[in-house]
Structure formats: structure tokens, C-alpha cells
Amino acid sequence: MAIDATWALDWIARSQVVLAENRERLIDLDRQIGDGDHGENMDRGFSAVEKVLSAEPPTDVPGVLKVVAKTLMSTVGGAAGPLYGTAFLRAAKAAPEGVLDAQDVAALLAAALEGIQARGKAEPGDKTMVDAWAPAVAAAREIADGGGSPEEVLDAAARAAADGAQSTEPLRARKGRASYLGERSMGHLDPGAVSSQLILAAAAKAGRA
């Protein structure tokens, strides 16, 4: 499997499907520690992205990710829109135009995390999407540095994101709307960490049967 524009288009198509399937679940999670709009925000955003991409599919990875960024910024309200928008914009800038190798994939994910943190100023442990992305990036780097393939990098990132999302359950939220709840935010999964887990799982599945 080449990590190229076809992969990127499949990544986003799969993200749209899985976010639509998990719309109610993300709404429920956000209802518990937020305002209940996260599932709707993500479904609306990625549906809009899919429309633009299928009408006029870009021919390189940066082109695909730029469309994702722009469309999410203009269609997703709340905290998640600008956070994911910045993530995809930074990822677009980090990605080469041709086929990505394992180091390029790790760099793409690292750039996305940098964007999220530049925008939202959250650290690991604050109970946000950073708790999915930070371990994903660490795992991706480790595999890439150890000579792993791009597929292995993506698999490791997806697994680490899943564990990271799960790790948010006991945490007390220190950023975003959930932080208003103080201790009452404990005992619930962070919705943005779960949507990030879904998006990173889609990245690992993309381009495969």
C-alpha cells in the first residue's frame, strides 16, 4: 500500500463513515461532560469534507489535507472545528507531494498534534484529544525510527490512540467545556479523544481491503 493521495482520500472517506456511525455515541459522551454537540459537529464536518473531495479529488496528500482543514474550519463549530482544522492544516504542510515513507507518516501525525497544541494549549493528561494524539505520535516515531513500514507506523499510532482515548476516563478535565465540571468530569471518556481514536483507526485501515 502506497501512502499517497489515494490513501489520503480513503482515510478521509473511512473517517466520514465511522464518524457518522458513531454520531450518537459521540453525542452521548459530550452530553456527559459537555454540551452534546460533538457527534453532530464531526458528522457535519466530515460529510461536508467528503462532498468537496468527491467533487474534485486533489492529486496529492497535502492537497487532500488542505481541503479537510479548510472545510472543517468553516463547517464545524465549537472547540473541535478549529482544533481539527489546525491539525489537518499543519499535517498538510508537513506532508510531501509524492509517496510518504514511514518517517513522513510519523512527521505528518506529529505536525497534527503540534497544531492541536498550538491552538488549544492542552498537555497530555488534561483530558482532551491530545491524550489520543500524543501517544499516537510517540508510538509512530518509535516504529519509524526502528525501521518499521508506513503501515506499521499507522497501526501503532491507531493502537496507542485507542489506549490514549481510554486513559481519559478517570481524568479530571483541565481544558475546554468539560473543565467547567471540575471533579464531575471524572469517570467519563473525553469525546474528542474518542473521535481522534476513530480518525486514527481509519488512517490505519485506509488503502487496505
DSSP three-state, residue 99: coil
Taking CB under 6 A as the binding criterion, the range among 2-10, 28-36, 159-167, 197-205 that sits at the site for ligand ADP is: 28-36
40, 90, 126, 168, 188 from 185: Cα distances, Å: 21, 30, 11, 10, 6
* Binding of ligand ADP by 43 (CB under 6 A): no
E strand or H helix at 200: helix 191-205
* Binding of ligand ADP by 10 (CB under 6 A): no
* For ligand ADP, the closer CB: 116 or 144: 116
* Binding of ligand ADP by 128 (CB under 6 A): yes
Angle at 44 between CA 9 and CA 34, to 5 degrees: 120
* For ligand ADP, the closer CB: 10 or 131: 131
* Binding of ligand ADP by 112 (CB under 6 A): no
Write out the DSSP string of 159-190: HHHHHHHHHTTTPPP-SSGGGGGGGGGTTS--
Tell me which of 45, 63, 85, 191 binds ligand ADP, using CB under 6 A. 191
Near Mg ion in 57-116, by CB under 5 A: none
| Separation between Cα atoms, residue 76 and residue 84, nearest integer Å | 9
Near ligand ADP in 70-89, by CB under 6 A: 78-80, 83
Torsion-angle region of 172 (φ positive above 0: left; ψ -120 to 50: alpha; else: beta): beta
Per DSSP (E only), the strands in 9-79 are none
Tell me which of 38, 44, 66, 188 binds Mg ion, using CB under 5 A. 38
Residues at the site binding Mg ion, with contacts judged by CB under 5 A: 30, 34-35, 37-38
Residues in contact with ligand ADP by CB under 6 A are: 30, 34-35, 37-38, 41, 78-80, 83, 116, 120-122, 128-130, 175-177, 190-193
